[in-house]
Amino acid sequence: MSDLGGVADGLPDHHPQIRRSRLLFRCWHRGTLESDLILGRFAEAHVADLDSAQLERFEVLLDCADPDLFDLIVGGSTPPKEYESDQVAR
């Protein structure tokens, strides 16, 4: 009864496909429409191509609060060291 659309067919939680699916969900369900649209579209276009290290950096970036993350995305602020990554540059 715990069918997740074929995504979790015996795969461990740290499996790249599980991580990608969770990232897609997180990007489309941030809480603000603007963040959802920006991050959701970015994730759909790029998350399938991210390697394990990039997935981890993206997960850390998504832990940032919405207002701060939105400000980083639209270029209103310089990212702190912990958020500097290839995903912010994209």
- Which domain CATH number covers 38? 1.10.150.250
Q: What is the mean pLDDT of residues 43-48?
A: 94
Task: Answer whether residue 34 is part of any domain.
Answer: yes
What pLDDT is recorded for position 64? 85
Single-letter code of the amino acid located at 11: L
pLDDT at 33 exceeding the cut of 50: yes
What pLDDT is recorded for position 47? 94
Task: Answer whether residue 4 is part of any domain.
Answer: no
Structural domain of residue 20, as residue ranges? 16-89
Greater confidence (69 vs 29) lies with: 29
Greater confidence (39 vs 7) lies with: 39
Q: How many domains does the chain have?
A: 1
pLDDT at 30 exceeding the cut of 80: yes
Distance CA 35, CA 4 (A): 25
What pLDDT is recorded for position 72? 79
Task: Answer whether residue 56 is part of any domain.
Answer: yes
pTM for the model stands at: 0.70
Distance CA 27, CA 41 (A): 8
Task: Answer whether residue 28 is part of any domain.
Answer: yes
27: nearest Cα among 44, 15, 5: 44
Task: Answer whether residue 73 is part of any domain.
Answer: yes
Greater confidence (1 vs 37) lies with: 37
Confidence of residue 22 (pLDDT cuts 50, 70, 90): very high
Task: Answer whether residue 10 is part of any domain.
Answer: no
